[in-house]
Structure 1
């Protein structure tokens, strides 16, 4: 596996520790403050512990991280519920979010180590019927930590680059999902500089 959940989790800890306290209640992403964006991102760690505490499902229904993202993003989401969960998570992190996330990360890594990557995990509400191998679910968590890590760094004015393996896997998952949603051709145009208005002119130019 080209991604490592524990590394991604503690990369978030280090990033959040660098966020100036005075920026926490400034804009983060969408309707969230930066503090609430951090709270939402921390759920990519806490859900691992929560779901591993549930009984192991009998069989796999979703076979890969790519399929999971396709299933989730095709569903009609409840944006208000997502926003509220992000705010609630921010409150749970308290006044020292980096320390709180470090505790969550330690618990999540210990939970993963205790069961192994082949363990099956039920994701979300039982009615959703999503069951997958832990290894593939962790890829989706690293995706969230990578993408929202960039969001946090941008909102906080910090220079931050995720580990290259995590960045490449996130690009792969995003590209597969774009293709599944019939937007793959447009994504390819962006990435190969065919949309210079997006600031990507020359990305694939020879010699770069």
Structure 2
């Protein structure tokens, strides 16, 4: 079992790596292709929501709801099982629009905005107890189980930003990426195509279709 000390450290590393990458974005690059339908600004805006939601939920009052018991369960609940392609398309379109809106919300000085947001959140989480409950749209989740999902989002999208702009990955992301790989395996284990994912990860599946834990 991963200690909360390691979980908190991985989140801090993911946040620092994300801020470092964003700090390298030049003015003309914000409108370059980012990921899918997003330009770089929308991609960064979506990525920053990992921090925005954490700050928001920590400042919101706690209410009743179904308890989400693990980081992996959170992702499966939020994304569904993929059995309804139409529903997933609607969901993906909503995520895409929220990303574009988040990009616009970065304002005229996105680097400064991201840096300030990250600093606030890092200070905020220092005083949060591991068992603190957070109310989120999908239910109730402990801080200890929600924080790894933020590390995952920041790590994966830092990879996206680096790839889109051909930037070197910050060394500080190393532990965050390792933690995200562990969570990806946990998410994958809950899927019906878990055997195929294992074949892919062990080099036994090299052709046909596409697999993802998300």
**TM-score scaled to structure 2, two decimals?**
0.82
Counterpart of 1:163 in structure 2 is 173
Structure 1 runs (4+) greater than 3 angstroms displaced: 57-60, 195-198
The count of corresponding residues between Structure 1 and Structure 2 is 194
SS in 1 for 2:68: coil
Gaps of 5+ in 2: 82-86, 209-214
Greater mean deviation of Cα atoms: 31-40 or 71-80: 71-80
Counterpart of 2:196 in structure 1 is 186
SS in 2 for 1:95: coil
Which fold has the larger relative contact order, with Cα–Cα distance below 8 Å and residues 6 or more apart in sequence? 2
Distance 1:60 1:8 in 2: 28
Distance 2:68 2:146 in 1: 10
SS in 2 for 1:45: helix
Counterpart of 2:211 in structure 1 is none
Gaps of 5+ in 1: 199-208
**TM-score scaled to structure 1, two decimals?**
0.84
Compute the displacement of 1:195 (Å). Answer: 3.3
Compute the displacement of 1:18 (Å). Answer: 1.3
Distance 1:6 1:158 in 2: 20
